[in-house]
Amino acid sequence: MMDWTAVILSVKLALVTQLFLLPPAIICARWLALTSFRGKPWIEGVLALPLVLPPTVIGYYLLVAMGGNSFLGRWFEALFGQPLAFSFSGLVVASVLVNIPFAVQPAQRAFEAISLEVHEAAKCCGLTFWQTFHRIELPLAWPGILSAMMMTFAHTLGEFGVVLMVGGGIPGETQTLSISIYDRVQAFDFSSAGTMSLLLLVISLVTIAISYGMVERLMRRRRSS
Amino acid sequence: MSLSLELRHNGPQLDFTAEIPKGQITALVGPSGSGKTSIIRAIAGLLKIKHARICLEGECWDDSRRHLPTRERSIGLVPQHHGLFPHLSVLGNVETSLSHLTSRDRRIRALECLSLAHVEELEGRHPHELSGGQRQRVALARAIARNPQVLLLDEPFSAIDRGMRKRLYLELRRLHTQLGNTVLLVTHDLDEAAQLASHLLLIDQGQLLQAGETTRVLTHPQNEQAAQLLDIPNVFEASLESTSSALSQLRWGPHTLQVSTTGLTGTGRVKFAVLPQNILLVKTDKPWGSHLENPIPTVVQDVVALGWEVLVLLEIKGNPEVQLQMRLPERAMRRYPIETGSEVIVCLRSSDIILLE
């Protein structure tokens, strides 16, 4: 049987993560694509850490950072009257941080694909910074940004380790689809686990295919321009 | 009034001062890596120069106090690979440079510019659907849309095949006659500079070697470096024997050459150049007489056909280590056939011998 509460919570988490993550990720991706400085590999390395660190390690550090004894935890509780750890808000913070490389890297590659001549032509056409950004750069980087959105969405739906560590799997609050599948397997309810796993599999496959399609289109445009 | 430039910079190395005449096409010629593109980018405000003074008709775009942003400079740029916006149609590309106009005026002006560049029928196409020549015309239409005082063309014909290039030369000349703006054309192709530009700036390693009217620069290099860049192979060393008000005498191996000079003083080693097309072949039946200027007996080493021209490599009699290159029209070879090993007399007219600094 499908755990619709978990499905809705997962989709909600994925959408809220997009909302908070995408604008700063696009700005950061553009900055990394168009600037060159000595410490850049270190910054890129820090942003890519969630790709290589075990989710339990990230989850542990986030739990420590959000716990009631931490500055962030105390500040959040004082402001909103509820703890950050083991809450949906905590889950959003964790999800945003874990998804940074999935959002930044495709967008950065897309901004890097815009040639210097195009940037300079925009300046010579009399465009201001913002006109250049929204009329030239954003449309050209759009396949990469769409790819970033897809990857972030799919990764948030499927995230398990960090969500379990930070959220604890509270039904209706922090129990996402992947946690629910885990719980169903623990309870030997393989039928429900199978249905929900199939749903995640289909969503992930479609998302990855669309994402690859976008990258292919981006590469075609890069070759033709 | 002209566009006046003073640029000093490290990386790319520039120590460049020049005046670009108003309303003319000026070619900026030099080898790869000589700083041509850096100069054009500095004029456009795309490259911030350590010490720059760029003024157009009294208005300074760059000096010690200010660096005017690119969008506020009255320039149009056609980059080497055209820099078209790949996601926009041809019309959209031109309209982008007219954002200061209303939507209706923008469209009217963009169509006018496309018509001037003879690409009005392509307005709905995207850059990837265009040929190299069409892209170049669209880039030109976009560059002239804001009616700039200075048009900067950065090797715009380099990615275009030879046949199309010739047609585009004519189109650019026609467009320039219609618009009359100041054009700076970056190229490393001397033929292109000769066909398009009335003035020429010759640069190397970020420094101006020579400037002036195109024909004058191409035929009268000031020094050996300029002669090398102008692809003049006949550069030789001789001794200055005597000078008078109009003529000087050079001792060149066993030969004495009369050279037209003014203001030359002293004696010693000098370098001189002769353009291959200025070496005259003396008809074999012509009597050897005093009316011939600087006759030199030579032996033909090789004859290389270059289509409508022939390159003849000559060894100077009595000075075998020196090789002279002579270019003749192909029809001259049909009238006076010469072959490898034959002995011929050539004339170096005193006015065609260029003394180098």
Residues of A in contact with B143 (CB under 8 A): 124
- Nearest-CA distance from A33 to chain B in Å? 18
Residues of A in contact with B82 (CB under 8 A): 117
pLDDT given at position B291: 66
CA A46 to CA A54: how far, in whole Å?
14
Inter-chain contacts counted by CB atoms under 8 A, chains A and B: 74
**Residue whose pair of structure tokens reads 């190395």 in the numeric block:** B13
- Residue in chain A nearest B81 by alpha carbon: A117
pLDDT bin (cut points 50, 70, 90) of residue B12 is confident
Nearest to B71 among A126, A140, A224 (CB): A126
Angle of CA points A82, A83, A85, to nearest 5°: 145
CA B154 to CA B80: how far, in whole Å?
5
Residues of B in contact with A139 (CB under 8 A): 87
- Residue in chain B nearest A121 by alpha carbon: B83
CA B109 to CA B326: how far, in whole Å?
52
Q: Is the pLDDT score of B289 beyond 60?
A: no
- Residue in chain B nearest A132 by alpha carbon: B96
Strand locations in chain B, DSSP E? 3-9, 14-20, 25-29, 51-56, 59-62, 75-78, 150-154, 182-187, 199-204, 207-213, 235-243, 247-252, 255-260, 268-273, 279-281, 295-305, 309-316, 319-329, 343-348, 354-356
**Selected residue with higher pLDDT from B13 and B272:** B272
Q: Is the pLDDT score of B244 beyond 80?
A: no
DSSP code for B282: P
Q: Once rounded to an integer, what is the mean pLDDT over residues B16-43?
A: 92
Cβ separation of A125 and B97 shorter than 8 Å? yes
Q: Is the pLDDT score of B85 beyond 60?
A: yes
pLDDT given at position A143: 87
DSSP code for A127: -
- Residue in chain A nearest B146 by alpha carbon: A125
Q: How many residues would you count in chain A?
A: 225
B231, two tokens: 């692809």
Q: Which residues pair with A56 in a beta bridge?
A: none
pLDDT given at position A148: 92
- Residue in chain A nearest B79 by alpha carbon: A117
Query: How many of the other CB atoms lie within 10 Å of CB of B46?
Result: 21
pLDDT given at position A215: 72
Q: Edge-to-edge strand order for the sheet containing B309-316?
A: B279-281, B343-348, B295-305, B309-316, B319-329
Cβ separation of B46 and A117 shorter than 8 Å? no
pLDDT given at position B284: 66
- Nearest-CA distance from B49 to chain A in Å? 16
Residues of B in contact with A136 (CB under 8 A): 85, 96
Instruction: Tell me the pLDDT tens digit for each residue of A183-206.
Output: 999 999 999 999 999 998 998 898
Reply yes or no: is the peptide bond before residue B12 cis, omega within 30 of 0.
yes
Q: What is the percent of chain A where pLDDT is above 70? A: 97
Residue B341 φ/ψ, nearest 5 degrees: 95, -15
Cβ separation of A124 and B143 shorter than 8 Å? yes
B132 interfaces chain A, CB cutoff of 8 Å: no
Q: How far is CA B269 from the centre of its chain?
A: 30
Angle of CA points B30, A34, B137, to nearest 5°: 50
Residues of A in contact with B85 (CB under 8 A): 118, 121-122, 136, 140
Residue B298 φ/ψ, nearest 5 degrees: -140, 165
Residues of A with CB under 8 A from a CB of B: 115, 117-118, 120-128, 131, 135-136, 139-140, 221, 224-225
Which amino acid makes up residue A175? Answer: Q
B24, two tokens: 């003319």
Q: Once rounded to an integer, what is the mean pLDDT over residues B237-253?
A: 83
Cβ separation of B96 and A135 shorter than 8 Å? yes
Q: Mutating which of B38, B40, B74, B87 best tests the A interface, going by the most A Cβ atoms within 10 A?
A: B87
Q: Tell me how far CA of residue A185 lies from CA of A8, A149, A161, A202, B309, in angstroms.
A: 20, 30, 16, 19, 87
CA B152 to CA B7: how far, in whole Å?
17
Q: State the ipTM, two decimals.
A: 0.83
Query: How many of the other CB atoms lie within 10 Å of CB of A164?
Result: 19
pLDDT bin (cut points 50, 70, 90) of residue B287 is low
Residues of B in contact with A225 (CB under 8 A): 84, 86, 127-128
Query: How many of the other CB atoms lie within 10 Å of CB of A88?
Result: 16
- Residue in chain B nearest A221 by alpha carbon: B86
Residues of A in contact with B46 (CB under 8 A): 120, 123-124
CA B241 to CA A11: how far, in whole Å?
95
Q: What is the percent of chain B where pLDDT is above 90? A: 49
CA B24 to CA B6: how far, in whole Å?
19
CA B141 to CA B144: how far, in whole Å?
5
Nearest to B76 among A118, A124, A131 (CB): A124
B48 interfaces chain A, CB cutoff of 8 Å: no
Asked whether the beta carbons of A163 and A178 are under 8 A apart, the reply is yes
Cβ separation of A122 and B85 shorter than 8 Å? yes
Instruction: Tell me the pLDDT tens digit for each residue of B22-32.
Output: 999 999 999 98
pLDDT bin (cut points 50, 70, 90) of residue A44 is very high
User: Distance between the two ends of chain A, CA-based, in angstroms?
Assistant: 51
pLDDT given at position B160: 78
pLDDT given at position B1: 53
Nearest to A125 among B82, B127, B142 (CB): B142
Nearest to A224 among B82, B86, B146 (CB): B86
CA B201 to CA B39: how far, in whole Å?
12
- Nearest-CA distance from A149 to chain B in Å? 21
A152, two tokens: 């972030």
B97 interfaces chain A, CB cutoff of 8 Å: yes
pLDDT given at position B65: 84
Nearest to B71 among A118, A128, A136 (CB): A128
> Which alpha helices (DSSP H) does chain B contain, by range?
36-44, 90-96, 103-116, 132-144, 162-179, 190-196, 214-219, 224-229, 330-335
Nearest to A124 among B44, B80, B99 (CB): B44
- Residue in chain B nearest A222 by alpha carbon: B86
Asked whether the beta carbons of B140 and B93 are under 8 A apart, the reply is no
Q: Once rounded to an integer, what is the mean pLDDT over residues B246-269?
A: 79
- Nearest-CA distance from B117 to chain A in Å? 17
Average pLDDT, chain B: 88
* Secondary structure (H, E, C), B81-105: CCCCCCCCCHHHHHHHCCCCCCHHH
Q: Tell me how far CA of residue A3 lies from CA of A13, A169, A177, A193, B321, in angstroms.
A: 15, 13, 8, 9, 95
pLDDT given at position B86: 92
Q: What is the percent of chain B where pLDDT is above 70? A: 95
pLDDT bin (cut points 50, 70, 90) of residue B308 is confident
pLDDT given at position A221: 65
Query: What is the model's pTM?
Result: 0.84
Asked whether the beta carbons of B239 and B267 are under 8 A apart, the reply is yes
Instruction: Tell me the pLDDT tens digit for each residue of B167-219.
Output: 888 888 998 998 889 999 999 889 999 999 999 999 999 899 999 999 999 99
pLDDT given at position B8: 84
pLDDT given at position B113: 93
CA A220 to CA B296: how far, in whole Å?
63
Q: Once rounded to an integer, what is the mean pLDDT over residues B308-312?
A: 90
